[in-house]
């Protein structure tokens, strides 16, 4: 069997303590089966031969009641403690996985489907209950009780001990064979569950695209196939579970039958007394019980082991994000007017990617400076933001904020001074106000200014309860452009020293975009602002432009200088304006 207490996922002292108590209670309850069988056999052997009379069994009866009561208490305690142990471990595992997810950052987390994370953090960890509360705390009892019974049998009657000892290896062998097949099947089932959850969430999210591209039927077919995989593997696991139950039940019956026949023959021939025969017969089923229980729990417990492996893998995944190099990190002294940010020969590669997304990129931005990053799709523009936020660690070169390398910087303190408008801004099923302030306090004048600057005011005026309208996804849904304005307003309310924008106006019509830029550019110029843009009007209004191509910085300078130089930027502007004219 694979599950041994050394695979114990207990990490804290409290968990170990609960586990030891649970195992101890279940071991004691298991061992008490010996006195229980003894007292019972005493009662029966004294009461039935009439010559002893009923009274002769009274003390044995009191003993039996005491033992049964003690066993019941111990079993209840073992159950309670085991459940407590399971909930302690599950709670810690969930916390560790969530903390690790945060430490790994968005670059690594996106390598798995969102649904897969959901499965791990909910059903996966919950599914460990059978392993943590059922399997592990009973492991000690499962090993010790048969040994104790075997020892007792050897003391009382060698032949019974021999039968008991000889049958177990066959039973264990059969269980191991079935168990190995079950291990494969349960692992496949766990992978099928991960795929099913991942796919399902992807389909829900991508329903629009799938419908328009006529792929919804095809995706439904894929989902059906994945669901069918899950059903098939589950049935396989269940078949194996039934098979192993059948094997153990049959084997137990035959073995107990053997013991009974050998005892009966000797009892009849007068070679054994009734009491000894009875106690051995009572103990025989208890001898096989832990092995049968272990076999029955194996399949449920295997899911727990699969989850334990995922948990370990996640905790051991090397983070692509910046990891602080020493315990003492520097809290940056960032003024409201911005920070000096410097990229020195930065080369960065995504995990698993062969080509670097950024190659030897160097630039410097200061306070009260608006810098635009332009370049073709896939040039590495968003990667600059990911590197600056510490989500992707450069393979060479360094990034400095106020002269401090990122890996020596208190990243949380730095990020607290950063405002971000992401490509696909996040929003939550909550009131618009909470989506803007994250539940924090905010004055009405401040709110009005942010709404006006971002252009969200025209949206808010149409909402039934204004800024207090709930974005519930049913009655009120924001369009892509409205979500971008929400993200802008959220950033403005944060009053960041460093503003990072990733295509902040890509979903807006040209007139709204121009009007917004006129309002927002002066605000951006009051701090350090770095804006990734596709449409070039914001780049033309910026102090400087960085032109990226294929991960390399091919040009940088004030837009007018770049236009005069007639290089890559000039070509882009010409193309852009041509498109506008023809549009």
Q: What is the DSSP letter of 338?
A: B
If you count them, how many residues does the chain have?
583
Q: Is 421 helix (H, G, I), strand (E, B) or coil?
A: strand
Binding region for ligand ATP (CB under 6 A) out of 381-389, 468-476, 477-485, 559-567:
381-389
Looking at the Cβ atoms of 387 and 459, the one nearer to ligand ATP is 387
389 binds ligand ATP (CB under 6 A): no
Report the phi/psi class of residue 368: left, alpha or beta, with left for phi > 0 and alpha for psi in -120 to 50: left
Least CB distance to ligand ATP at residue 380 (A): 4
377 binds ligand ATP (CB under 6 A): yes
Whole-number Cα distances in Å, 242 to 178, 179, 292, 298, 554: 10, 12, 12, 12, 67
Binding region for ligand ATP (CB under 6 A) out of 134-142, 310-318, 372-380, 562-570:
372-380
CB 385 within 8 A of CB 359: no
382 binds ligand ATP (CB under 6 A): yes
Looking at the Cβ atoms of 326 and 377, the one nearer to ligand ATP is 377
Between residue 327 and residue 356, which ones bind ligand ATP under the rule CB under 6 A?
Answer: 350, 353
- Rounded to a whole number, what is the distance in angstroms from the first to the last CA of the chain? 70
Least CB distance to ligand ATP at residue 429 (A): 27
Least CB distance to ligand ATP at residue 72 (A): 57
Least CB distance to ligand ATP at residue 532 (A): 6
Looking at the Cβ atoms of 253 and 323, the one nearer to ligand ATP is 323
Q: Which residue has the tokens 């009974």?
A: 260
Q: Which residue has the tokens 């969200």?
A: 456
Looking at the Cβ atoms of 178 and 385, the one nearer to ligand ATP is 385
Q: Is 557 helix (H, G, I), strand (E, B) or coil?
A: strand
Tokens for 576, please give them: 């852009």
Separation CA 401–CA 413 (nearest Å): 12
Least CB distance to ligand ATP at residue 107 (A): 5
Looking at the Cβ atoms of 302 and 349, the one nearer to ligand ATP is 349
Looking at the Cβ atoms of 16 and 100, the one nearer to ligand ATP is 100
538 binds ligand ATP (CB under 6 A): no
Least CB distance to ligand ATP at residue 389 (A): 13
Helix axes 510-525, 480-494, angle to 10 degrees: 10
Q: Which residue has the tokens 């550019």?
A: 521
Binding region for ligand ATP (CB under 6 A) out of 7-15, 280-288, 373-381, 425-433:
373-381
Least CB distance to ligand ATP at residue 503 (A): 7
Separation CA 173–CA 516 (nearest Å): 74
Interface map 108-147 toward ligand ATP (x if CB under 6 A) = --x-------------------------------------
Dihedral pair phi/psi, residue 546, rounded to 5°: -110, 125
Looking at the Cβ atoms of 84 and 112, the one nearer to ligand ATP is 112
Binding region for ligand ATP (CB under 6 A) out of 11-19, 203-211, 370-378, 554-562:
370-378
357 binds ligand ATP (CB under 6 A): yes
Q: Is 365 helix (H, G, I), strand (E, B) or coil?
A: strand
Binding region for ligand ATP (CB under 6 A) out of 11-19, 279-287, 371-379, 470-478:
371-379
Separation CA 90–CA 11 (nearest Å): 11
Which of 254-293 are b and which e, b meaning 16 or more Cβ less than 10 Å from the residue's Cβ? Answer: ebbebbeebbeebbeeeebeeebbbbbbbbbbbbbbbbbb
Separation CA 276–CA 266 (nearest Å): 11
Among 164, 307, 379, 573, binds ligand ATP (CB under 6 A): 379
Rg (CA), the chain: 35
Q: Any residues with CB less than 8 A from the CB of 356 and at least 6 apart, and which?
A: 347, 348, 349, 395, 551
Which candidate, 535, 549, 548, places its Cα nearest to that of 578? 535
Looking at the Cβ atoms of 90 and 381, the one nearer to ligand ATP is 381
500 binds ligand ATP (CB under 6 A): no
380 binds ligand ATP (CB under 6 A): yes
Tokens for 34, please give them: 């010996």
Strand partners, 399: 343
Least CB distance to ligand ATP at residue 361 (A): 11
Tokens for 7, please give them: 């695979």
Q: What is the DSSP letter of 509?
A: -
Looking at the Cβ atoms of 39 and 555, the one nearer to ligand ATP is 555
Number of amino acids touching ligand ATP (CB under 6 A): 13
Looking at the Cβ atoms of 197 and 383, the one nearer to ligand ATP is 383
Looking at the Cβ atoms of 37 and 572, the one nearer to ligand ATP is 572
Which of 488-501 are b and which e, b meaning 16 or more Cβ less than 10 Å from the residue's Cβ? Answer: bbbbbbbebbbbbb
Whole-number Cα distances in Å, 176 to 144, 146, 163, 180, 562: 19, 18, 21, 6, 73
Among 53, 336, 378, 473, binds ligand ATP (CB under 6 A): 378
Among 138, 383, 454, 507, binds ligand ATP (CB under 6 A): 383
Between residue 37 and residue 76, which ones bind ligand ATP under the rule CB under 6 A?
Answer: none
Which candidate, 478, 370, 488, places its Cα nearest to that of 421? 488
Least CB distance to ligand ATP at residue 333 (A): 30
Between residue 430 and residue 489, which ones bind ligand ATP under the rule CB under 6 A?
Answer: none
198 binds ligand ATP (CB under 6 A): no
Interface with ligand ATP (CB under 6 A) = 107, 110, 350, 353, 357, 375, 377-383
């Amino acid at each position: 069997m694979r599950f041994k207490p050394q695979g114990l996922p207990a990490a804290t002292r409290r968990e170990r303590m609960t586990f030891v108590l649970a195992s101890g209670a279940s071991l004691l309850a298991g061992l008490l089966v010996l006195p229980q069988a003894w007292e019972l056999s005493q009662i029966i052997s004294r009461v039935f031969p009439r010559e002893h009379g009923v009274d002769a069994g009274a003390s044995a009866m009191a003993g039996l009641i005491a033992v049964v009561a003690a066993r019941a208490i111990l079993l209840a305690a073992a159950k309670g403690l085991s459940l407590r142990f399971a909930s302690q471990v599950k709670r810690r595992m969930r916390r560790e996985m969530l903390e690790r997810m945060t430490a790994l950052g968005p670059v690594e987390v996106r390598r798995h489907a969102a649904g897969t994370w959901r499965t791990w953090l909910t059903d996966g960890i919950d599914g460990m209950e059978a392993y943590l509360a059922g399997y592990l705390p009973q492991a000690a009892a499962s090993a010790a009780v048969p040994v104790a019974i075997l020892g007792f049998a050897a003391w009382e009657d060698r032949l019974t001990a021999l039968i008991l000892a000889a049958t177990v290896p066959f039973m264990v062998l059969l269980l191991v064979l079935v168990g190995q097949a079950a291990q494969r099947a349960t692992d496949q089932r766990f992978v099928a569950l991960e795929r099913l959850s991942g796919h399902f969430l992807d389909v829900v999210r991508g329903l629009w695209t799938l419908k328009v591209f006529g792929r919804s039927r095809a995706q439904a077919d894929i989902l059906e196939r994945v669901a069918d995989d899950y059903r098939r593997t589950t049935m396989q696991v269940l078949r194996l579970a039934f098979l192993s139950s059948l094997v153990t039940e049959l084997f137990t019956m035959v073995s107990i039958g053997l013991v009974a026949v050998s005892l009966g023959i000797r009892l009849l021939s007068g070679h054994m007394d009734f009491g000894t025969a009875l106690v051995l017969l009572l103990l025989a089923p208890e001898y096989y019980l832990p092995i049968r229980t272990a076999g029955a729990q194996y399949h449920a417990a295997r899911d727990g082991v699969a989850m334990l492996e995922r948990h370990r893998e996640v905790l051991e995944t090397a983070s692509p994000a910046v990891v602080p190099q020493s315990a003492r990190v520097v809290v940056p002294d960032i003024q409201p007017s911005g920070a000096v940010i410097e990229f020195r020969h930065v080369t960065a590669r995504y995990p698993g990617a062969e080509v670097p997304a950024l190659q030897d990129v160097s630039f410097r931005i200061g306070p009260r400076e608006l810098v635009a990053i332009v370049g073709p799709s896939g040039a590495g523009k968003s990667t600059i933001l990911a590197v600056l936020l510490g989500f992707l660690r450069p393979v060479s070169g360094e990034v400095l904020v106020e002269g401090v390398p990122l890996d020596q910087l208190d990243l949380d303190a730095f990020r607290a001074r950063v405002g971000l408008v992401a490509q696909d801004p996040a929003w939550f099923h909550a009131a618009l106000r909470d989506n803007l302030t994250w539940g924090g306090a905010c004055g009405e004048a401040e709110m009005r200014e942010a709404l006006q600057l971002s252009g969200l005011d025209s949206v808010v005026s149409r909402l039934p309860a204004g800024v207090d309208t709930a974005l519930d996804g049913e009655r009120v849904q924001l369009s892509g452009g409205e979500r971008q304005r929400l993200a802008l307003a959220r950033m403005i309310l944060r009053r960041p020293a460093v503003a990072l924008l990733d295509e902040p106006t890509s979903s807006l019509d040209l007139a709204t975009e121009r009007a917004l830029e006129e309002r927002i550019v002066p605000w951006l110029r009051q701090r350090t602002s770095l804006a990734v843009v596709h449409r070039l009007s914001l780049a033309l209004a910026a102090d400087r432009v960085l032109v990226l191509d294929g991960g390399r910085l091919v040009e940088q300078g004030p837009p007018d200088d770049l236009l005069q130089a007639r290089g890559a930027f000039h070509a882009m502007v010409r193309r852009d304006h041509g498109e506008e004219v023809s549009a």
